[in-house]
Amino acid sequence: MTDPSALADRVRDGELRLHELEAHADHETAAAARRELLEAETGADLSTVGEYAFDAEAAEPNIENMIGGAQVPMGVVGPVPVDGEAADEEHYLPLATSEGALLASVNRGCSAIREAGGATARVLKNGMTRAPVFSVADVGEAATVAAWTRENVDRLAEAAESTTSHGELTDVTPYVVGDSVFLRFVYDTKDAMGMNMATIATQEACDLVEDETPASLVALSGNLCTDKKPAAINAVEGRGRTVAADVLIPHDQVEAKLKTTADAIAEANTRKNLVGSAKAGSLGFNAHAANVVAAAFLALGQDIAQVVEGSNAITTVEAREEGLYASVTIASLEVGTVGGGTKLPTQAEALDVVGVRGGGDPSGSNADALAEVIATGALAGELSLLGALASSHLSSAHEELGR
Ligand SMILES: CC(C)(COP(=O)([O-])OP(=O)([O-])OC[C@H]1O[C@@H](n2cnc3c(N)ncnc32)[C@H](O)[C@@H]1OP(=O)([O-])[O-])[C@@H](O)C(=O)NCCC(=O)NCCSC(=O)C[C@@](C)(O)CC(=O)[O-]
Ligand SMILES: NC(=O)C1=CN([C@@H]2O[C@H](COP(=O)(O)OP(=O)(O)OC[C@H]3O[C@@H](n4cnc5c(N)ncnc54)[C@H](OP(=O)(O)O)[C@@H]3O)[C@@H](O)[C@H]2O)C=CC1
């Protein structure tokens, strides 16, 4: 039987490449061989990296050249009542992070929301996008391709949907820049985040565009999608789920839980999240929505690079007669409860904690519920951090809990 050392020797001898080991040994042995090689070459001790709890073979769709697992501490906030379209009960939200004070803060916000009776949350728009770029001869031809696209959405949908039993093409918008034509395809990907699904479906639709028009495909992703880059189109048009959450907290509870007043929080929000963000040219008019999105994504098997889009959030706060009104609207939250990293064991367990693992009934309702719970978590984080800033507690909190 092949052991890690024998396998590592064959790589050293040039007989095998580092990424070919699974063809010659089981997945655990292959990972152990890579660790052995790395330890010898770099002097690093990888004993903790090698202590992972998932089945290496089952993780094959998620990783190549595997050496082990990256472990990040996971905690939980809540329970927080979420009155949503899909989420309609109290939820705990698991969060994975290395930032001390973050969970305490989000938990404080959840506690304030809970005592106020809960948050209202809604998914307002749902559409995963893929925007291929085509080349044409000139703007005349570009206009022809754009017009053909508008007239043939049904045929494009038929082609795209032939590749998936769940996905539905809901829109195609052409954009022209000189001799480049971008077609922004929008899909309802149900409970999947949908980037693989949309990419595969769009390839099929592109074949039709090339057959029927003078356009020639240059790149299946032309960056007008826009995936994993800051982009105004996502902040304006949305991508994945556009989701909002809000709450009204009575004044006495604001003072008891957030240690400041509604007026002070509203002023901090206006001057920091609105004026400061505008002056900075930011796409995110919020304090730290990305903190909750990133920690939730890590815990729940989402694609962590899409935190870029998850930071496209606007926080509004108003001191009303009845109390503090606060809302968070995340324009482009890309989440799924099937596919991607959601099957990995710690991530699947964490999805069970939220109560949204796997496909929903109806299809898409689990991903909607997850979006509503994450938006509520982001609202909790905004409330607590704004409260800490308004009461000058930010630096003392991080001195105490974060180092
Ligand atoms: C640290 C606190 C919460 C203390 O706040 P506090 O009001 O002194 O805490 P408390 O002991 O009175 O407890 C109030 C509630 O907080 C929660 N809580 C309290 N302690 C814990 C704990 N250990 N573990 C779990 N939960 C905790 C808990 O929910 C509790 O209520 P209860 O449930 O007991 O009724 C507060 O000072 C705070 O929220 N500070 C802000 C910290 C923060 O938000 N950091 C975020 C990261 S900052 C960053 O990354 C982004 C930044 C800042 O650069 C972005 C920007 O530019 O704005
Ligand atoms: N390809 C790319 O360009 C990119 C890929 N990614 C990666 O893509 C992955 C996510 O893609 P994604 O398409 O979500 O996942 P998967 O590729 O894992 O596919 C999920 C599949 O699950 C099936 N499915 C079963 N039940 C449901 C349900 N209730 N709702 C929806 N689908 C269901 C669908 O099959 P069927 O379609 O047959 O119905 C769907 O295509 C992540 O790993 C991410 O990192 C990220 C960015 C870009």
d(CA 300, CA 351): 6
Residue of 126, 165, 166 with the most ligand 2 atoms within 8 Å of its CB, for mutation: 166
In Å, what is the CA distance from 142 to each residue of 93, 136, 225, 349, 365? 47, 6, 19, 49, 39
Contact criterion met (CB below 8 Å) for 209 and 168: no
Domain limits, the chain: 4-62, 74-126+231-400, 132-219
Contact criterion met (CB below 8 Å) for 384 and 112: yes
C-alpha triplet 197, 334, 113: angle, nearest 5°: 150
Q: DSSP states of 112-178 as a string?
A: HHHHTT-EEEEEEEEEEEE--EEE-SSHHHHHHHHHHHHHTHHHHHHHHHTT-SS-EEEEEEEEEET
Residue nearest to atom 3 of ligand 1 (CA): 105
Q: DSSP states of 73-108 as a string?
A: -EEEEEEEEEE-SS--SEEEEEEE-S-TTHHHHHHH
Contact criterion met (CB below 8 Å) for 105 and 397: yes
- Complex-level ipTM: 0.88
pLDDT of 281: 97
- Ligand 1 atom closest to the Cα of residue 258 is 7
Ligand nearest to the CA of 396: 1
- Ligand 1 atom closest to the Cα of residue 389 is 41
The single-letter DSSP state of residue 181 is E
Cβ–ligand 2 distance for 227 under 6 Å, the answer yes
pLDDT tens per residue, range 333-354:
999 999 999 999 999 999 999 9
pLDDT of 128: 98
Six token digits for residue 245: 């959450």
Q: Which CATH class is domain 132-219?
A: alpha beta
pLDDT tens per residue, range 141-151:
999 999 999 99
d(CA 86, CA 361): 10
pLDDT of 393: 79
What amino acid positions are annotated as catalytic residues? Answer: 99, 303, 398
d(CA 131, CA 195): 12
Q: Which CATH number is correct for 74-126+231-400, 3.50.50.60, 3.40.190.10, 3.60.21.10, 3.90.770.10?
A: 3.90.770.10
pLDDT of 396: 78
pLDDT of 399: 76
pLDDT of 394: 79
Burial (CB count within 10 angstroms: exposed 0-12, middle 13-18, buried 19+), residue 155: middle
pLDDT of 20: 95
Please, which residues bridge with residue 76 across strands? 94
- Amino acid residing at 104: A
In Å, what is the CA distance from 238 to each residue of 65, 231, 334? 34, 10, 10
The single-letter DSSP state of residue 338 is B
Per-position pLDDT tens, the chain of length 403: 589 999 999 999 999 999 999 999 999 999 999 999 999 999 999 999 999 999 999 999 999 999 999 999 999 999 999 999 999 899 999 999 999 999 999 999 999 999 999 999 999 999 999 999 999 999 999 999 999 999 999 999 999 999 999 999 999 999 999 999 999 999 999 999 999 999 999 999 999 999 999 999 999 999 999 999 999 999 999 999 999 999 999 999 999 999 999 999 999 999 999 999 999 999 999 999 999 999 999 999 999 999 999 999 999 999 999 999 999 999 999 999 999 999 999 999 999 999 999 999 999 999 999 999 999 999 999 999 999 999 987 777 777 787 6
Cβ–ligand 2 distance for 50 under 6 Å, the answer no
SS3 state at 268:
helix
d(CA 78, CA 248): 18
Cβ–ligand 2 distance for 190 under 6 Å, the answer yes
Ligand 1 shell residues, CB under 6 Å = 99, 101-105, 107-108, 111, 257, 259, 287-288, 291, 384-385, 388, 393-394, 397, 401
Residue nearest to atom 47 of ligand 2 (CA): 195
Residue of 64, 190, 196, 203 with the most ligand 2 atoms within 8 Å of its CB, for mutation: 196
